[in-house]
Amino acid sequence: MTQPALNGTRILAFTQLGAGPYGMSLLGDLGAEIIKVEDPLTGGDEARNVPPYADDGDSLYFQSLNRNARSITLNLRVDAGRRLLARLAKKCDAVYANPRGDLPSKLGLDYANLKDVNPRIVCCSLTGYGRSGPRHAEPAYDYMLQGIAGYMSVTGDSDNPPTKAGVSIIDFAGGIMSALGLTVGLLRARETGLGGDVDVSLLDTAISMLNYLACWNLTHGAEPQRLADSAHPSLVPAQNFPTSDGYIVIMCMKEKFWQRLATRMERPDLADDPRFETLAARYENRELLVPLLKAEFAKLTTSQWIERLRGYVPCAPVNNVSAAMQDEQVLHREMVVEYEHETFGTLRQVGSPLKIMDTTPVYGPASRLGADTDAILRDLLKMSDEEIQTLRSEKAI
């Protein structure tokens, strides 16, 4: 068994709430040392107190996003705190932050402020709107971004109001994008000896994921709409169908799958019908075809349809979270992991989605607020107890 892929990589992470911590947790799972920096005057990351399941400055919400992170407190409002930042940055490969877009430079968390102490430092910021532009100084959160980026306009049933996704998809995608950007910056620094700034925003990430919908709009002026049954905007049938006891998702992304669906449904007449024989024909006659399919799917349970279609037609049950966590493929892929936590006991959560040959992900709880401050200052900066106490008296930590 080899060392974790990012073993030896040290990141000073000024993270809070969802997006930034998620990105850093992905790198921490792969062996990176994540030193989470928190404000000693505010009680640290507000995620520590997010209900439900919160207790004395820790919560399951916080643990789910910050596993493996060590915690150090640092007050950048005072000179001693800013000097300590420089000393820490000298010993790190990267500084990562997810504040408003105007704050990285103001707080001294960008390359311009740190390159003199460490020319190889990679300074990655994940902000709501980016570090430039008319909105750069505004705060932004996932719900807001789902609105401004058009996601809500295409999510939900056609008869219902615009709807957000059930999970914080833009926060998580932004975390992934920033982890990717930071990793690219680290690779370049190792090749060239020079670090630099990596500027990632939630809005840019969200807009990039509009992808083909944006292309249709920009090229032909098409305005995507919400469709009934979570239907695909151009492929038919590709949507949810009610069964006798729940819902099933059918995705006929290729002609062969439509032919197989009609066969397994014992309705070869549908495949032979000229109104439905091609992708284009089914798209034009969606309103005729879908009711016919709904009538068929209503005859059996979801599990009966899965048994009949699995291996022939792309399909899946519409699970609740409990069922998803018990799915045989999820369990086989080790996507449910557990480890011990001093307050919550056996803590069970999702595993790393990144599988790298001959390496095992690292899983452990996030530290309590400031729990590692003294150890990090002693081990990394060789500070004495007297020096550490002086920093406390100066309110730097």
CB 64, CB 363: distance < 8 Å? no
Q: Given 29, 58, 110, 171, which residue is catalytic?
A: 171
CB 340, CB 347: distance < 8 Å? yes
**Dist. CA 194–CA 175, nearest whole Å:** 24
Q: Which amino acid is at 80?
A: A
Q: Which amino acid is at 111?
A: Y
Quickly count helices (H) and strands (E) in the chain.
Answer: 17, 11
Could you tell me the sign of the dihedral formed by the alpha carbons of 118, 122, 126, 132, in that order? positive
Q: Which amino acid is at 276?
A: F
CB 59, CB 94: distance < 8 Å? no
**Dist. CA 64–CA 348, nearest whole Å:** 9
**Dist. CA 243–CA 317, nearest whole Å:** 10
E strands, the chain, are 10-14, 33-38, 70-73, 94-97, 122-127, 196-201, 238-242, 247-251, 315-317, 336-341, 345-350
Specify the residue for token string 């040959």. Answer: 357
144 burial class (0-12, 13-18, 19+ CB within 10 angstroms)?
middle
Q: Which two tokens stand for residue 202?
A: 């939630």
φ and ψ at 239, to 5 degrees?
-175, 180
Q: Indicate the pairing of strand 247-251 with strand 315-317.
A: antiparallel
Whole-angstrom CA distances from 144 to 99, 141, 282 are 16, 5, 35
Is 171 one of the catalytic residues? yes
At 17 the three-state DSSP class reads: coil
One-character DSSP codes across 246-277: SEEEEE--SHHHHHHHHHHTT-HHHHH-TTSS
Active site residues: 171
